[in-house]
Structure 1
């Protein structure tokens, strides 16, 4: 059963076309990972799918109904975890859940039960009477998720839910997502951490420049670039011309740099390993070299020409 779908959805903001005939669907009980560099259109896709803004054209269906900005009943079946923590710091964790539950029409004994269940689910049962202003960043993120779950939504949208938190809280959230799907919740998950999507997503959609450029399981996506070879080298030191000289090697498709680590993707059978080593050694000392099978990161680099997190990276 299809829980949500977008078909040829277009959304413009003035002269900017944020969504360019976007189409994808989400099946019941799956985690769909939505990836894309900054400006790809992910947040706009989420906002239109959730009914926060309208589309200019195309069709959006959610839980078997056409999505409509004014459809309050449909919104009650959606949980939205935003990039920003949107809890009230002056209220306790329990009071936050009571407030958000009330907004979704959960009342009385049902609300009291859900508050208890949801706090336990996100690991905050012992902090029910505490104000989130005193929480760590990871605990605030978990409360943010609890507020989106209080009404037992059938469809949960998680937009960058682990930004700026510690590894322990990140792992807790990822395990929570897995438990949610086992309980029947369908999840749309976006992240700038490739390894998160690779760990939990049953299918992946990659967007760039407002378009869907690839979709499928991890295996299906990596098979698209099985005709490529990846070499990763770490330099002890290197001059500023190394990136361009690596790109100039015959059959090299892309070169990305993250600090002193270079990722070189070449056509299969190119025999470029020796050429890469020769060029690199002319620039400085090599401290590490790895040859790898294609990963989700390689797929993303090949399809978009960018890293998912581009800060401080030559691409």
Structure 2
């Protein structure tokens, strides 16, 4: 894990005066250098542009060759809403596709500060509807569509479950890895882990300002801060993976509590001994690799359970 932290330190916190464009370029180059060779059974060459009300959005599909119609995961990458792409998270989404047996649709949503809330959220709405409308062409079981993401991507995923519930769209589950569920930077974890590792409190404040500069309107909107929703009832089963060394840990913990109090099914992991961002460190840390395996097992088991339930009906 130390090697992973060192490899990503320039992206996460050692470029305080860098522009978003510079951060993105470094993130893309670093991810490419760190990427392992993909399983030859993986098809990751399919890229599709989808119409969206704000601006068109690109997605990359990760599918195991030869698999029949199966579950899908709509995945949103992390990066503080400012950096990242399907390519920076290739290693993780490829692993999810192969180990959990799901088709991963990874979203290249528009980034802040050029595109502030609600652009990315609206794009993800469009991608979800596109998946549900084109399930057969994608070789996807419409009844087994999951949403998920890490960090800022988990924020978008959680927000998307609220949208889907409000619109009567069925989701099989949600994966939220070290999610940012509100913008309360006074929580104890912000003080305890103010200096990281990887994600600092100052960096998090900067990301929030870039994505939601208006504290009265944007930061109180449940689609930006899902913890603030008037109700969390009727949301899909959740797998919430926290990190121990993480300024946003308490935000994710609060969201898990809100879901459970509303009767939701929640699988919660502590991420003991791990920093924010650890799901991309499977090749560097045995502890991170175990967390990835546990997540894949949950996703695979949930997909099978939904399929069994659908057959019984």
Instruction: Provide TM-score, normalisation by structure 1.
Output: 0.26
Bigger Cα Rg: 1
User: Hey, which of these two has a bigger chunk of strand by percent?
Assistant: 1
Higher helix proportion (structure 1 or 2): 2
- TM normalised by structure 2 equals 0.26
Relative contact order (C-alpha < 8 Å, sep 6+): which is higher? 1
